[in-house]
Chain A
Amino acid sequence: MDWKTDPNLEASPSRQIVERALDAIACGDLVSGDSLPSVRKMASEALVNHNTAARAYRELEGLGVVRPENGKGVFVTRSGKKIARKRRQDETLLVLQRAIDGALRAGHAPESIQALFNKGKRRDA
């Protein structure tokens, strides 16, 4: 996995690591029992200092998607996928809701938004 962060983005490097991990867990690139790199390794791969990497791990642990095991590393939990996916769904629904509100205010017909949605659905199928 590519963990390299970009300090020119709005999200802090630690947030970028959290989001990338949640994404990988939500879509099954990382599954229950998979390990994440050690904090030091993550620092080197994400090109951040290791307090930043540790902060990201603490947050992932707080969310319940990863769990440290004594001396062995940090592992994706059994409920990790469900939690990560729920978070992703909540976030994306919020973004979608805002986009729809914005589009309606801008004068788009509900039908054309519906058509766009159907087009997206077909592409996904």
Chain B
Amino acid sequence: MSSVMSVSGLSMAFGKQKVLEDVNLDLAPDRVHVLLGSNGAGKSTLLRCMLGLLKPQAGSVDFLGVDVRKSKAPLRELITYVPDEADACDWMTATDLFYFLSKQYRRWSPEKVKELCERTQVPLKTSIKSMSRGEAAKTMLVAALAPQPKLLLLDEPFARLDPPTRELVLGVFLEEAPLDGGAVLLATHDLEVAARAADRVLLLEGGRITTQVDVEELQSDGDTGQRLTARLRELYTPAEVEQAR
């Protein structure tokens, strides 16, 4: 099975500051990949390279076999992104944003927008700058699902949401994740989200991928009495999670 996205030998620096060093990973179809890493580990930079927004100093990012920086619109619009903070123009309402985006994406589904907005109660007439964090997160998720992507990238979309909203947004994401031949990469440092969502866990430390493991391998079904979250914690205990508790 060929990868949806393949990153090889990727290195990225801002000035003298090395952010990513020789990153190699493959995003397999039909799977949710969770990218774990502390703040500053390079998660967002890696996502921006995958989106083709940043040009790496070395290495390549291929999407469905084509260099993502050279890919043309029909291919490029199959990658969508949920940022950690809403990145739309402040004055726009959700309706404005969806209208604007619907013109950019050939596969944009107004039915999907309607269904998801009703289900998650996105306030359509509120400007994005006046939205709560939860409302903005829901809006961004709908905007990323409506184009029916083949690769969905998410950067900490569930962070700092109140528990009921977090559960709602996580549930919609898990139900709608584009896994019919597509792939998902979810960057987070929330181990519970990772345990729920991941087929495969990738650990990014100091700009390098240090661990890649399938959750099924971690999972013991109780025979060793090891819980999944505990196994993930053995792999990874981010400083900021400890502080947040």
Please give the residue numbers on chain A whose beta carbons come within 8 Å of chain B beta carbons, in ascending order: 5, 7-13, 15, 40-41, 43-45, 47-51
Contacts and interface: CB of A to CB of B under 8 A. Distances in A.
Given A7-B228, A8-B229, A12-B221, A51 B30 contact: yes
A51 to B, nearest CB: 5
B171 A49 contact: no
B177 A7 contact: no
B167 interface: yes
Chain B interface extent, by class: 20 to 34
B174 A13 contact: no
Contacts of A13: 195-196, 228
Contact of A44 (B172, B198, B226): B172
B197 interface: yes
Nearest to B168: A44
A59 B219 CA distance: 16
A9 B221 CA distance: 10
A13 to B, nearest CB: 7
A12 B220 contact: yes
Nearest to A4: B167
Interface in B200-241: 219-222, 225-229
B7 interface: no
A7 B174 contact: no
Contacts of B220: 10, 12
Interface of B: 30-32, 167, 170-172, 174-177, 179, 192, 195-199, 219-222, 225-229
B221 A49 contact: no
Contacts of B222: 10-12, 15
B228 A40 contact: no
Nearest to B174: A43
A30 B196 CA distance: 25
B195 A51 contact: no
Given A48-B196, A50-B177, A50-B179, A7 B229 contact: yes
A47 B177 contact: no
A49 B227 contact: no
B228 to A, nearest CB: 5
B236 to A, nearest CB: 15
Nearest to A53: B174
A15 B227 CA distance: 12
Contacts of A47: 167, 170-171, 174, 196
Contact of B32 (A5, A10, A49): A49
Contacts of A44: 171-172, 174-175
Give 8 nearest A-B pairs by CB, closest first.
A44-B175, A7-B195, A44-B171, A10-B222, A43-B174, A12-B219, A40-B175, A49-B32
Given A13-B196, A48-B196, A51-B199, A43 B175 contact: yes
A63 to B, nearest CB: 15
Contacts of A9: 227
Given A7-B228, A11-B222, A51-B32, 16 more contacts: A5-B196, A8-B229, A10-B225, A10-B227, A12-B222, A12-B228, A15-B222, A41-B175, A44-B171, A44-B175, A48-B196, A48-B197, A49-B32, A50-B175, A51-B30, A51-B31
Contact of A11 (B32, B196, B198, B221): B221
Given A44-B175, A49-B177, A7 B196 contact: yes
19 contacts: A7-B192, A8-B192, A8-B229, A9-B227, A12-B219, A12-B221, A12-B228, A15-B221, A15-B222, A41-B175, A43-B174, A44-B174, A45-B171, A47-B167, A47-B196, A49-B174, A50-B179, A51-B30, A51-B179
